[in-house]
Structure 1
């Protein structure tokens, strides 16, 4: 189960969910970030998997765009957030009830007031939010990622097999030179020890 759950409203701000998902995956790893359209394979029991992911997550992100609150059902005319079995409503209600770290992420939008929300979601209006502005995602995503890192560790960098780091190569070369008594020669990439105290290249 993933440690970060991305909750969003289909038909709301379109650029947000995929952008947030992609950048979080880069930092925390694909297995630690859940967004339904990417993480669920065909044939998955949707309601059961959603419930499991919300219950097991550490950080729950509620992505809220300008149309999030007022998107309505085409048949009934009701706000989708008010309708029975609305996934966005139920996911948030469950996360709040379980005292998850719930972060409203505002996609060029405002945080809804308590009076605008269904009773089970009123607690969302009390949560400190993080703005994510379309023209400033480079800054706002960095802030959001740093906040999440307080609760979820970043993935470990993958080892690069078959290559040595520059410091390892330099260290190895220094050992070889010392062992065979060869004076270092000038190299633009040489370590600082190949220069004398006055900043001159060795002879």
Structure 2
């Protein structure tokens, strides 16, 4: 046995490719099926590489969890006795299910080194496969395509979690008053359960960092409320919560809408950490005190088109 097999969704191909490159810098040899197409030969190559792997990584996201091939691949590895490690590469609402499976690493939190060390240990102590080998999974019906055709998109899982709602990111000083008013209007339109604003949503005694990360994973949109003084020296600190919130949303492909309040201006790229540079390319909206009702109505209408199934009756 040698190398590491990656089970992943093609929807996460870009971030998984970055992860594989990062692992390579730690000396981890990874096999991806990115050069293969659908059909029997494709599926046989995947199964053969699973059998030859020293470990399997399940790159978890909502897309991957809905993918029938991903789940078949991981199940086959487990029946072969091959260790499986889990790392979140995108929005995923099932994190708590993995508490008893060695934990769930988070690529967005830079846990590549931890994953690399674990995979290196697996490679150094390969597991002997069972004899006889378990029956391999059959080719998923939706992937029965002719050679030369691209593999179809991942199959939806009716039992999979859905994502929706709005996360409101803001600084209390300077924008707390207007952020609360905006959240109230959103709750009136979409329901209180679809709006996360930390003051009211975090129960006493909980780790607010973990709660915030999980809330962002469940949201479709993050509103970055930017008031005067938003881009302060605190933003240069890696642990600044506003920075962490927006970084997490940008990395995980969640729509980020800058909301400029109290005549604030859009921050310049040179004034932001590199991890927030993408924020300056997001189309912003403005909410002013004198036109608050009209401005918020416009924002709510836009969110209503993004979240058409979340409108409160």
Flag whether TM exceeds 0.5 (same fold): yes
Matched, 1:48 2:48: no
Matched, 1:30 2:184: no
Per the TM alignment, residue 141 of structure 1 is displaced from its structure 2 partner at its CA by 0.3
- 2:179 maps to 17
Aligned length: 149
1:66-90 superposed Cα distances (whole Å, 9 cap, x missing partner): 11012xxxxxxxx110113111001
Matched, 1:129 2:291: no
Report if aligned partners of 1:13, 1:67 keep a CA contact under 8 Å in 2. no
Per the TM alignment, residue 47 of structure 1 is displaced from its structure 2 partner at its CA by 1.1
Match of 1:110 among 265, 271, 277: 265
CA distance in 1, matches of 2:224, 2:312: 26
Match of 2:296 among 129, 136, 141: 141
1:73-130 superposed Cα distances (whole Å, 9 cap, x missing partner): xxxxxx1101131110011011111111100000021110111111100000000001
Matched, 1:100 2:254: yes
- State the secondary structure of the residue aligned to 1:109: coil
Per the TM alignment, residue 55 of structure 1 is displaced from its structure 2 partner at its CA by 1.6
CA distance in 2, matches of 1:2, 1:127: 20
Structure number with higher relative contact order (C-alpha < 8 Å, ≥ 6 residues apart): 1
CA distance in 1, matches of 2:222, 2:312: 22
TM-score, normalization by structure 1: 0.70
Report if aligned partners of 2:164, 2:194 keep a CA contact under 8 Å in 1. yes
Query: Which runs of 5 or more structure 2 residues have no equivalent in the other structure?
Result: 1-162
> 1:83 and 1:156, CA in 2 relative to 1: closer, same or farther beyond 3 A?
closer
Report if aligned partners of 1:130, 1:144 keep a CA contact under 8 Å in 2. yes
- State the secondary structure of the residue aligned to 1:53: helix
Match of 2:311 among 124, 142, 155: 155
Pairwise CA RMSD of aligned residues? 1.4
The worse-fitting range, judged by mean Cα deviation, of 146-155 and 111-120 is: 146-155
- 2:237 maps to 83
